[in-house]
A = this chain, B = another copy of it.
Amino acid sequence: MTHPALDLAADHPFGIHNLPYGVFDHGGHARVGVRLGDHVLDLCSIPGAEFADAWAQDTLNTFLAMGRAAWQSARAWLTDLLTDDGERATVEEHLVPLSDVMLRLPFRVGDYVDFYASEHHATNVGKIFRPDSEALTPNWKHLPIGYHGRSSTVVVSGTDIVRPSGQRKPPTESSPVFGPSVRLDIEAELGFVVGGAQTELGRPVALAEAHEHLFGVVLLNDWSARDIQAWEYVPLGPFLGKSFATSISPWVVTMDALAAARVPLPGQDPEPLPYLRGEPTADGASTAYGLDITYEVDWNGTVVSRPPYRTMYWSPAQMLAHMTVNGAITGPGDLFGSGTISGPEKDQRGSFLELSWSGQEPVRLEDGSERTFLEDGDTVTLRATAPSPDGSVIGLGECTGTIVSCQRNSD
């Protein structure tokens, strides 16, 4: 007797090495599950489930707050359960086909910060937005630049994205005009989900402690209206050009599942200040590690870019240490984005601003059409994978969204 979720090929991206967490709705109530192949394991209903109370909730936040020891214990329990032939019938009873569930936003977002950690992206944007200045600002290699975004508009993959309206100032006009954004873009990012107990005001998280607070990752699309952004962002940064929507993938892949994806950073010169310096770990690596995650950006069915996360300048632990070095609180459900992932090559750029070089070099899709920025009805899907301990890959799933006209709202 075989079951499609229990007899997955050893190299299935949602096999035993992955075990990402999400929140699913089945039968009218939402609770925490783990993805296994094309099924969801309904955790809280399994007899003896160690964290049944936390898993019975409609967000991951309670489980996130329990901290690393609980996360590791849960992973060990799940691995035992799924590899014990004697438990097979029990497990099968609690598997729900993905096609039968609705996936929800996996956690209630606390504070949301977006970083700017790709040197290639920051350089490209600097050249496009500030052609008369140095591409990288003087602070860029000394600290991971970041800013706060709007938590309430973080939405789960599959949510339609209403084209935002706002002010923009075409170079040919003396005053701004108002209307739907005509330069609607994506930013392909990795989002880091914070867990553990809420920290105390005035107590930074040291880089060496960051792993206690890093629960896992999601794919993140920081939809961006470049025309709104360009007009508003001096001097206090992006606001309405970003705050209309941020999409995340439904499955949170844990940092433990990503252990085999850890790689050294590409190199930091000048050496950062001590609070941002990695330290050697027992296995000879560094606490400031990168991640070898391979991304693809799909635009209406054409893969237009493959941004390599391993090229990112700043590490997740460095971003978390920086975010709290002033004593800011961080707690379960906080989310921080890496910033757009762009590699050194043109087909590794994580935004259409860069891919089309501000609209000057259209991108040709497989249907023969050309694009610079997003048109109504366009669908963008981000997908990613990471190396698995057995040499295959684990899946990060996908993060998708379709642009709908803002005229919808005047119907």
Binding site for B on A (CB under 8 A): 110-111, 113, 116, 126, 129-130, 137-139, 142-143, 145-153, 155, 159, 162, 164-167, 169, 175-178, 198, 201-204, 225, 228, 231-241, 243-245, 270, 273-275, 322-323, 325-331, 334, 404, 406, 408-409
Contact = CB atoms under 8 A, between A and B. Distances in A.
Given A202-B408, A328-B152, A409-B203, A236 B237 contact: yes
Which of A130, A142, A167, A225 counts the most B-chain CB atoms under 10 A from its CB?
A: A167
A404 B202 CA distance: 10
A327 B155 CA distance: 13
A273 B173 CA distance: 14
Contacts of A244: 201-202, 326-328
Given A142-B167, A237-B238, 14 more contacts: A143-B167, A143-B232, A145-B235, A145-B239, A147-B236, A148-B239, A148-B243, A152-B198, A152-B331, A162-B327, A202-B408, A225-B326, A240-B323, A240-B328
Contacts of A234: 137, 139, 235
A226 to B, nearest CB: 13
A201 B153 contact: yes
A145 B110 contact: no
A225 B327 CA distance: 12
A232 B142 CA distance: 10
16 contacts: A111-B152, A126-B235, A129-B235, A139-B169, A147-B238, A148-B243, A152-B331, A152-B334, A162-B202, A165-B325, A166-B326, A178-B273, A202-B244, A203-B409, A241-B326, A243-B323
A151 B335 CA distance: 13
A151 to B, nearest CB: 6
Contacts of A328: 150, 152-153, 240, 243-244
Contacts of A238: 147, 236-237
A137 B202 contact: no
Contacts of A334: 152
A244 B165 CA distance: 32
A236 to B, nearest CB: 4
A274 B198 CA distance: 43
Contacts of A151: 110-111, 151
A237 B237 contact: yes
A155 B236 contact: no
A240 B201 CA distance: 13
Contact of A147 (B116, B237, B409): B237
Contacts of A274: 178
A273 B202 contact: no
Nearest to A203: B409
A319 to B, nearest CB: 11
B166 A240 contact: no
Contacts of A239: 113, 145-148
B237 A270 contact: no
Contacts of A143: 167, 176, 232
B145 A148 contact: no
Contacts of A164: 326-327
A142 B329 contact: no
Nearest to A202: B162
